[in-house]
Structure 1
């Protein structure tokens, strides 16, 4: 999100919006009872993370399942999650597997909110150490993780980051072109709407009798 914001708007977020801090913060501040299902990570990590999150007021962990015993029968996982009727499903299968899983199976879940959380369960359980506080404040936690797991993460923080940046820029250009085309086609409609609003302000009524070109007046 930080990279996309910088590329598109030349602005960064005031706070560090990493999921490890953001997800627990949102759960703590939600103010209403919320049912959460945890899916992913190792069995001990997800179990300890469930206990940790369950201690948050208003949060009820309605179920959890590790990410190592689920691939033989995905339908079983989906049924287990849906049976718990969660409001939120936290998926910790690692990037990009969790995003692909959510894209493929998210529509089959009853939960209205599904969030990919990466290594959150490992951090909450204490099975994986986070970067020192000063690195987090400098928003350099990615560097700490790269140093700790270079073979697994080097591609994510080099090739994948570059690909993501290019995708954001290209998608934004496509969106702008589509918007320009749409506005060009809608110019006449916008002018007619503006005229109607001006008439409404003047007369406190909307009485628009002008028709679109090519249409028969009614």
Structure 2
């Protein structure tokens, strides 16, 4: 059986959440291996990669690509790829915090607005007392501020750089500075800090089990409707795409 399932030419490893966590735990335990870039691949990223060669190169160079969203998993199964389950940035972040609380991992938070960033750090410290939040910065920084932010991350040397800048901005930012960040693992988590901070409500478990989390978000955040339009277009194009 192939170790990957291709979606529009992009290879997604067939990893469960538990296998992903084990892989990242092993990376943290290694010394001197350079930054390990985790990309949470959703339909928007897959579609963008069809036209954006730079983004596709970033994906190809990443240490790990996860299936962020039920759309990726369902298309893979309909085409015989059989990805085992989705591994979203939000779910992965919470799992990493749980593991980090046991293993005393350190995190740096980059992204969201200042109030959300501060609240997310506070919630993490209260909920996961053995996790170290070694630094944070909101995501509305100027180009002139970037060098100072990169230096701050470098000096703090976190186990995990959690980047909530939205896709594909987070992926481009991590790739641009990957040789300077001095983090063991960097991962883009979309709007997950909003959920950690309680600014945005996560879909209840029943919605998640029904694979309707996207609908819950749309009902609660109607402004997302333009973004959701990509989902049916992705499904049609991905199903018709002839994998090589």
TM category (shorter chain) comes to 0.5 to 0.7
Pair 1:141 & 2:209 matched: no
Q: Which residue number corresponds to residue 89 of structure 2?
A: 19
TM-score, scaled to structure 2:
0.60
Unaligned stretches of 5+ residues in structure 2: 1-66
Q: Which residue number corresponds to residue 134 of structure 2?
A: 62
Pair 1:107 & 2:170 matched: no
More strand by share: 2
Unaligned stretches of 5+ residues in structure 1: 175-218
One of 64, 68, 72 as aligned partner of 1:4: 72
Aligned residues: 171
* Larger Rg belongs to: 1
1:68, CA displacement in angstroms?
Answer: 1.4
Q: Secondary structure at the match of 2:103?
A: coil
Whole-angstrom CA distance in 1 between matches of 2:213 and 2:233: 18
Say which structure, 1 or 2, has more relative contact order (CA 8 Å, 6+ apart).
Answer: 2
Cα deviations by residue, 1:12-65 (Å, 9 ceiling, x for unpaired):
545x63332321222212542211000000111111111222241541110011
TM-score, scaled to structure 1:
0.66
One of 34, 44, 62 as aligned partner of 2:115: 44
1:111, CA displacement in angstroms?
Answer: 0.7
Q: Secondary structure at the match of 1:72?
A: helix
1:161, CA displacement in angstroms?
Answer: 6.5
More helix by share: 1
Change (3 A) 1:70 1:60: farther
The answer to whether the 8 Å contact 1:7/1:169 transfers is no
